[in-house]
Structure formats: structure tokens, C-alpha cells
Structure 1
């Protein structure tokens, strides 16, 4: 890398730090007709799956936090996306080869920015006990083929950490249909979701089959169109496409009639026009959901993020 770009790198780190510390009070809680699901927490602003990311999602008024769950070597459900520890911690190797005690010694924040040094890998139990009263959980069972006992461990954790009357607030999802069905049999109160593979083309017959078992079908956003959403809704299935990065994509998804979006940026809804007219299913949704202070926040956040993207583009062209 060119040494002359070091000021650019420093600028990126500075802007990330500014964004990550802005707005310590909750963002305005004005009505918004679609659910916002914070992908691994507010992972644009804080290291994914950490307390910092979940707390920022709460402050940014996300409706759900989406978390990935795997098992430690000694069988504890932990929040972690990758099979390997290397990308988001100072550890190495597969997560399933480390005990919970060993995982807790790792740093899970410094990779994102030094200001997050000291953030730890969370257990599912810790996350639920700390945050379930403030935000709902969309839990993805990650790599179930690696963990034969994961459904039993999740059932044990959920029944212990979540009051029975609140279990219906939890959505369990996976790419694996049978994994979700097994856990649903153990805890029937749970809502269930199927994630569609990134390359899948979804047929109407498949959707009708899924309707018997799932409350949600959550597809990769490039596979979503109005016909698909209409068929899902006709069978009583809701949908949260993933992962939405840009306002234009969010508007397109909303125009199809989706129930919400999964995004790294819970503030995305504040980047949309103040007046939106969306037509689907022969109905029109019109809403005005934020006022000047929200627009000021959005303008500042968008300005900083544009600078970061430009800096990253400059760095990528230097290689």
C-alpha cells in the first residue's frame, strides 16, 4: 500500500469513531410502517454481535436485532457469525474448538476500531437477559450441521432466559428447514423463519409447502419481487429480505410490500424521503414519519458515510 495514503486511513478511523459515538440518546421514535431488523446489531456503527452493536441498535429504534448463534466447545450458545474466529477477534481457528471460558478471553471489538477494544463475545443467554426487554430477537441457527445438539441447547437457553409469555416475540430462523422444525416442536410458542439461499429461485409450490411450517420466509434481496411477496402474503407468510445497504434498495423492497428489512444500518429509515407513496396489493401507503431534527441527523450521518465510502474506494484503487 502507498505510504501517502496513511492520512486517508487515519481519516477513516476518525470518521468511524465519530459516527459510533454520535447520538447517545435514543433517536426519535416516530411511527414507521415497516420493521427494521439490525443485522448482527447496528453493525455499520459497532463491531457485530457485541453489546455495543446491540445497544446502538436499541438507541436507533430498530425493531429486532438479528443474531447468529453457534456453540462453544462445551456447548454454550454464543453470538458469532463466522466459523473461524480470525476476522472479528484476536483469536484463531474454529469457534467450536474453544470453550466458553477461552472465548471470553478474546477481544471482539478492536478489529472494528480501537475505541471498541474490550468488547467480548456474548452468550445468547447474556444477550437475552440484558436486552430482551428493549428489543426483539431474530435468532439465526448458524451451521447446524456442525452442532448436532444445537436445538436442545437453544431450547434450554430460551426457556430459561425468556419468560414463557414472551417466547412468541422470538423468531428462530435458519437455512436448514429441519433444524427450525425440530426447535419449533420443542418450543411451539416461537415464531419460525426460513432463510432462502442466495442463489435460490423460489417457486410457488415451495412457498405453499413452507406455509405449513413457517411464519417468515426471508430471502436474499436480489431474489425479491412483487409476485413473490404477493404469494407469500396470500399464504400468510411475512418476509424480511436481507441485507439492505442503500435507501434506494429499501424503497424498492417497501414498494413490493415486504414486512421489513434486515440491514446493517438501522438509521436507514431516516435517509428515506419525508413523504413516501408506496403502491402494492392495490393499496397505497402514505406516511410522513420524521421531522427536521431527524433530517439533520440523517444529513450528518450520510455525509460522514459518503466520505468513508470515498476513502475506501481510494484505498481499493491503490492496491
Structure 2
């Protein structure tokens, strides 16, 4: 376990830049993020793209359902102008274009979340496995050496991916209402549990419990300095944050400068 929690840029530096866009990831890397987190959905023609919601109304200039839209249709969207700070057009990122960018930063971990429920079912996990194989990231020397880390709230998705790519570690994400529905690593197949910060505030003992079962922890979404220090003190392995620069400052013992309100 590292001496402090590793900093994962949640959808990039998404407080200051539009989530899941190239500029958000580039800025997160400039801020010193040690990992990047993305959300993956499949288009109607089976292309994995980086979008959090099942439809684009929150982050785009038009409302499209991701699962029933082709890549060509989604590629026409402006995914940046909605952002209250950035206010400039940004294009859709495919998973492949994200991984091309990430090739230049081999030291940075990639936390790759498949979204469920979706009409395409398990095809999103197969698509993720195929893309990681294309980039030679599907067979790391060990879990600790793996650049790629799969994540999902769906137990079935984690189990499915562990069968598709058994050498890549996985995070079983948990919301507060179901955080206690956690099985030991050998039951779920996950190497890390992923509770929300609200769950850890309510039950901080969970980190040590999971550690006793041989599992690490990834906590989301941690923007408040007090919460960052809580995660550090508990020995949380990774924290997902919308403001990586502030998280690094706090975790390294500095005093954070004021930031604008963080995106959800």
C-alpha cells in the first residue's frame, strides 16, 4: 500500500473543464494526477465512447440516447460549451482515442468504468477487453503492474470482465445504500472495493475490513480537504476527485487554494 492515497482524476479535471473530454484529461495530467477515470458506453454501432449518462442532455447541445445513436451522430455533439467555467466546444472522445492519448503517459493508471444497466448488456465489457488487447494492456505482469483497472457498480459486469480478462484488476463500486453487500475477493473476483465518500464517513471501519479480506479501496468522489485527509488516514489506496491539483496539495500536506464549485 502506498504511503498516501493515489489521486485519480474523476472524469478528468472535471471541476474546471468539461468531463470526459480531451482537455479535461490533459489538464488533469498537467495538475499531476496519478490516474484517470472514465465512463464507458457503447454506441448503436458498437463503439465504446466516453459518456457518463445514458443520454446526452446534461453535457451536450442536443439530446441523444447513447445506445441508439451511431458514432457519427454522437460525434457531431458539442460536449464543452455547457460547462460553467470552460464554455468552449469540445468533441466526443472514443475509448480508443483516449487510450491513444494515454500511451504518452505510461506511468498513469487508467480506471475504466463500464456503465449499467444498458440494452447492450455485456457487450461493453467485451469491447473494453478488445480495446485493451489492441493496446497490449490486457496481460500485465501482475495486478500491481496493470495500467488498466476495470470498474463497475454491476456485480455481474465485474464477474464477466474477470472471466474475459482475468489478469486485469477490477473495482466493485458501491453506493452508500448497498455498501455492506460486499463479498470477499474470491466471491466477487474484484481486487478493490469502491465505496462513496459518504459510505466511508458513515462506516470508516470498512477500509480495514476489506483490507483484512485482501482487498484495496478506491473512494469516490473526494473533493473536500477533510474527506481527503480521512481517506489518507484510513489508508484508502485511491481517491477519485474532480480537482486533482487540490487533492495532491492536501494529501502532500499543503494548504489548498480556493477553487470553484466541483462538478458532480
Shorter-chain TM-score: what band? 0.7 to 0.9
Distance 2:166 2:159 in 1: 10
Equivalence for 1:217: 193
Q: CA offsets per residue over residues 292-317 of structure 1, 9 Å max, x none?
A: xxx6xx43xx1xx2xx45xxxxxxxx
Distance 2:128 2:197 in 1: 28
Match of 2:33 among 62, 71, 95: 62
Indicate the larger mover: 217-226 or 44-53.
217-226
Q: Please tell me whether residue 98 in structure 1 is matched to residue 74 in structure 2.
A: no
Highest CA radius of gyration, 1 or 2? 1
Distance 1:111 1:122 in 2: 16
Distance 1:273 1:209 in 2: 28
Residue 215 of structure 2 aligns to a residue whose secondary structure is: coil
Equivalence for 1:246: 224
Equivalence for 2:101: 130
Equivalence for 1:74: 45
Q: CA offsets per residue over residues 191-212 of structure 1, 9 Å max, x none?
A: 1110012312416xx3425665
1:136-155, aligned counterparts within 5 Å?
136-148=109-121, 149-155=123-129
CA contact (8 A) 2:153 2:173 kept: yes
Equivalence for 1:192: 170
Q: CA offsets per residue over residues 76-95 of structure 1, 9 Å max, x none?
A: 00000011111101121311
TM-score, with length taken from structure 2: 0.86
Equivalence for 1:266: 244
Equivalence for 1:233: 211
Deviation of 1:268 (Å):
2.1
The change in CA–CA distance for 1:177 and 1:246 in structure 2 (over 3 A counts) is: same
Residue 97 of structure 1 aligns to a residue whose secondary structure is: coil
Deviation of 1:182 (Å):
1.2
Segments of structure 2 that go 5 or more residues without pairing to the other structure are none
The change in CA–CA distance for 1:184 and 1:124 in structure 2 (over 3 A counts) is: same
Q: Please tell me whether residue 88 in structure 1 is matched to residue 62 in structure 2.
A: no
Distance 1:126 1:143 in 2: 22
CA contact (8 A) 2:151 2:170 kept: yes
Residue 253 of structure 1 aligns to a residue whose secondary structure is: helix
CA contact (8 A) 1:207 1:232 kept: no
Number of residue pairs matched? 251
CA contact (8 A) 2:7 2:248 kept: no
Structure holding more helix per residue: 1
CA contact (8 A) 1:68 1:140 kept: yes
